[in-house]
Every structure is written in C-alpha cells, then in structure tokens.
Amino acid sequence: MSFGVQKLKKQAGEELENNILPFWMNRMKDPQGGFYGRIDGKGNLVPGAEKGGVLNARILWTFASAYRVCGKQEYLDMALRARDEIMEKFVDKEYGGTFWSLDSEGRPLDTKKQIYSIAFTIYGLSELNRATGDGKALECAIELYRSIEEHSFDARRNGYLEALTRDWKPIEDMRLSEKDQNDAKTMNTHLHLLEAYTSLYRVWKDEGLRHQLANMINIFLDKIIMPDGHLALFFDEDWKNTTHIISFGHDIECSWLLAEAAEVLGDNCLREQVISICNRVAEASLEGWTLDGGMIYEKEIGTDAADRDRHWWVQAETVVGCLWQYKYTGADEWLLRAMAEVKFIQNEIVCPDGEWYWSRKADGTANTSDDRAGFWKCPYHNGRMCLEVLAF
C-alpha cells in the first residue's frame, strides 16, 4: 500500500500549493489590513462583510503550519499578517480573550467571548510558535488559555461553558451559530479546546495545562462519546445529554484529534485506551460514508431523516481520520477509503476557479449559495487535510 500513500502525498501537495493556499494569498488579503470577510459561493467579493475571529485564527494556523512543513517565505508572510491582525485588533486588551468579530473597517463588532473562537486563536498562535519560535505569539496564547481557565472552566461540574459577555458574565444566547442548540456545554467547543490545548502543550510543557489536557481527554471518554461510538453534541451545565442528531464529520474528526492529544500528552496507558476508543468512533462514523459519494453531513437520532449533503470540511476530516486508522490498525480498507474520499473531493468538491465548494448537494449539484470563503469557510480543514497527508 506504500504506492497508495505516495499517491496521496503527491495529490495533497499539489492541492495545497497550487489551489488552496494561492486562493487565500491572492484573493483574500485586504489592502486596509488583514483579510476580507467574505467571498460568496459564486466567487464574488462581498464588500462590507464582517471579519470573523474564527476565520482569522484558522488562516493563522494554516499558513503557520504550511510554513513549518514547506518552508516558503510567502506562507510565513501570510501567517504574520494574520498574527498581527489578531493581536492588534481581535485581542481584547481591556478584559482579555478575543472578540467574536470586527466590522469591515477592523473595529470591534460582536464583543462576546465565544470560547470556540478563543480556542482557535490559541491553536493558531501555538502553531506559529512551533513553526518559528515566535515568543510574542506564545505569550498571547498562554494569556488566552489562562482567561479560558479563569472564566469558562466549570470547576464544580467539569467542562467549559460555551460563551460569556465581553466582561465574562453569563450570557443568554450561548449558541455558536443559528443552527446550534442554546446549551451551556457542547461537544464542538470541547473538541476544539482539545485541539488548542494539544497544540499549546506541544510548545509549552506547563503542568497545569497537562492536567487540563488530560481532563479534556477524559471528558470525551466519560461524557461525550456515546456507547454506540457516536458523539453526543449538546449538554446542559450538569452534562445532561440533549442531543438530537449525529454529526458524522465530527465523529471522524474526533477519532483522530483525540488520538493526537493522547500522543502529545505522552501518557502511554491513556494512549492505549484512547486508541481503542478512537477506532470505535471511526467505525461508527462509517454509517455516514459511501464508497463513491463521500461522507454525508448528519442524521436525526432514532429516525431515517438525514442531511445527505457532502460538506467540504466533512470530506477533509474523513481523509485524515481514515489515515490515522490505517496508521493504528494497518488495515488496508482504511487507506482505500481515504483514497476514495480524495477522488470524490477532486471530482466533486474542488472548485475549478479556486478553493472548494461549501458542499456537493444531495441531488449532485454544487452548492454555490454558501460561501467560498468567509466566517466559517476557511482554509483550515482542507489545508490541514493536505498537511496531515504530507506528514503521514
């Protein structure tokens, strides 16, 4: 199967450096500073679009990681541009944390403290430090980590609260987006805190961080992964499960991020336990996967109702998750699934004039209604897929 791996590496390198990264370098830089807020699904720049904290943090992570792997100055220039935008405009210098969004002129717009967004900022800054040794980036990441631990961590019931006001008070609407439930704790925020704390621990071996990263892994094992291997998505403050859907993309994404966290933590006993459970999660995700049609989005629990669109990020995470399972199990079918998924991406998800479509709809048509680049449509999932394949 070494030929299959080499083929995937070649495809990933070409996709990353000939399509994904050039799109963001050539079309998303705002001459006024930082990056534009949005390009619509038809490839048109949207004037006046707000600028998201998640988008900028993901740009930072992608280009810092690309510089670390590929060593090209233009990738570092993009990462530093994102770092400067974040540290100068998104970081709240009065209360700590980061703003959720800026207006198109770079002024604070939505100032709530959404922990998901702060986690991605830690992720990006930590990766920049890993790639370059940037001390200011690491210092900022540590400050953000400490803000989360002070204000969001629920020491009595464990876990992290979803969102707070600018000055860290309780907030009525904690939702990450309009499609989410308004619950106090979510799988999604915990998954990306796990990712962020893993990245930070790689470059900062703090004992308190180590404890919280191990705690996060155990939250997944004890509270979030359900007996059937799927992830519960929403919880109240006391960890009562209020989930109504299964998210196949999050299942397969968690199956490798959790394993990565255990590897970075370096606890061999916990690592063996996690690897076994991650295999169960990856196997469960295959309920949404088809050989020729990629991974569907989600389904309702207890019914046959499903969203069968093939979202860009779900396809990317499927490739990575399958490769991690191939690494751990040695089973050829996991590599074959990754190769089939890459073929589907190339044929159905990659956009001819740059980047990826948001999704391929269930009826087979390309989704040009949702963004090509924007608040949620970032270079991180597909860029990270390519970088993970190159590192395999």
Residue 29 main-chain phi, psi, to 5 deg: -75, 125
pLDDT at residue number 198? 98
Give the angle 307-345-300 at the CA atoms, nearest 5°.
15
Q: Return the DSSP state at 286.
A: G
Please give the average pLDDT of every successive group of 10 residues along the chain, which has 392 residues.
Answer: 88 98 98 97 97 98 98 98 98 98 98 98 98 98 98 98 98 92 97 98 98 98 98 98 97 98 96 97 97 94 95 98 97 97 98 97 97 98 98 94
Distance CA 390, CA 215 (A): 30
pLDDT at residue number 291? 83
Fold designation for 2-391 = Glycosyltransferase (1.50.10)
pLDDT at residue number 1? 56
Going by C-alpha positions, the residue among 372, 362, 387, 375 that lies closest to residue 295 is: 362
Helix (H, G, I), strand (E, B) or coil at 373: strand
